[in-house]
Structure 1
Amino acid sequence: MITYADTDYMRIEFDKSLNAMIYRWKSGNHGMSDEEYKTEMRRCIECIKTYRPLTVIAYMVDSNFSIHPALQDWLNKEIIASLFPNGCRYAILVESADFIARLSLEQVFADKTEERVGSVFVSTLEEAYGYAQKFLGESQ
């Protein structure tokens, strides 16, 4: 596992054995500003451009940040739209325990315009790793 970044809000890693980027939100991100959120997500895209993973795993369990509608649009247009051109084919989301945070992320993926990237919602990191392994096997 290669650590790409470790900030106050997020840890980003690349797992070569799964060809997957994993980003983990840390607890205490509720008061994060829109600009701080965008900075963290742009950092994810930079990692994706560097490693070109097949799969992105978003570990949201400790997140309690809600993505409001305008930020949902930005996420769809700027982040999700950048996945496929940079090699990503799957997004696996380990959902937050916070209902509003979980609902706001589900809304982003319900409205996504990039249909070439599949998405799966799971409840544990182990489940996410299982899917990533399955996707890797199917791609070879």
Structure 2
Amino acid sequence: MNKKLFENEYVQTSLVFINQEQTIYSYRWKQANKYLSPEMYQTETRRHRDYIQKYKPTFVMADFQESQFIISADLQPFVKTQVLDKMVETGTKKLAIIPPEDNVLKMSIEQTLEEQTAAPYAIRFFESVDEAKIWFVKKDIWHAYAHKL
């Protein structure tokens, strides 16, 4: 079941219910986000933070395929404290990133995530939303095996 949370000209957000215990908070940036000022980007980022804190999703999917906004070095710490760190507090297990094709835009996302290497949730990049969804529901076979020992 999908629940649309919010949509404007810059972003669309939804909550996907996998089962009673697992949810995906999904946000998809739109091409029009290139018109966002840094302050407007911060407002949109705070909205993501608020939804993550409210719904405490098991998984988060950030779809940047259409994004045209470069996350500047000045904004990267803001994204880290407002979204990435909140995912630690809410118990998120996995973060899937679907990057844009543009290398400069992709690099700004990678730089934002650089300091998250010690995060207790897994972070992976995917070429498609479908690949990310498979990763979310796929059981870690080695982890399951280790618990049986």
Moved more, 101-110 or 111-120: 111-120
Deviation at 1:16, TM superposition (A): 0.7
Contact 2:97 2:125 in 1 (8 A): yes
Q: Which residue of 1 aligns with 2:5?
A: 4
Q: Tell me, yes or no, if structure 1 residue 123 matches structure 2 residue 124.
A: no
Letter in 1 for 2:79: L
Q: Match of 2:3, as an amino acid?
A: I
More displaced stretch, 130-139 vs 70-79: 130-139
Distance in 2, Cα, partners of 1:134 & 1:16: 15
Q: TM-score, normalised by structure 1?
A: 0.90
Which residue of 1 is the match for residue 38 of structure 2?
34
1:105 aligns with 2:109: yes
How many Å separate the matches in 2 of 1:114 and 1:33?
Answer: 30
1:62 maps onto 2:66 in alignment:
yes
Of structures 1 and 2, the larger Rg is shown by 2
Distance 1:42 1:113, change over 3 A: farther
Unaligned runs of 5+ in 1: none
Cα RMSD of the aligned pairs, angstroms, is 2.0
Any stretches of 5+ residues in structure 2 without a counterpart? 145-149
AA paired with 1:7?
Answer: N
1:122 shift after superposition: 0.6
> Helix, strand or coil for the counterpart of 1:93?
strand
- Bigger shift: residues 124-133 or 107-116: 107-116
The higher relative CO (CA closer than 8 Å, separation ≥ 6) is in 1
Q: 1:99 deviation in Å? A: 1.6
> Aligned match of 1:19 in 19, 23, 35?
23
| TM-score, scaled relative to structure 2 | 0.85
Q: State which of 26, 50, 66 in structure 1 corresponds to 2:54.
A: 50
Deviations 1:41-96 (A, max 9, x none): 11111111221111100010000110111101111122211111112121100011
**How far apart are the structure 1 equivalents of 2:88 and 2:102?**
28
- Runs ≥4 in structure 1, deviation > 3 angstroms? 135-139
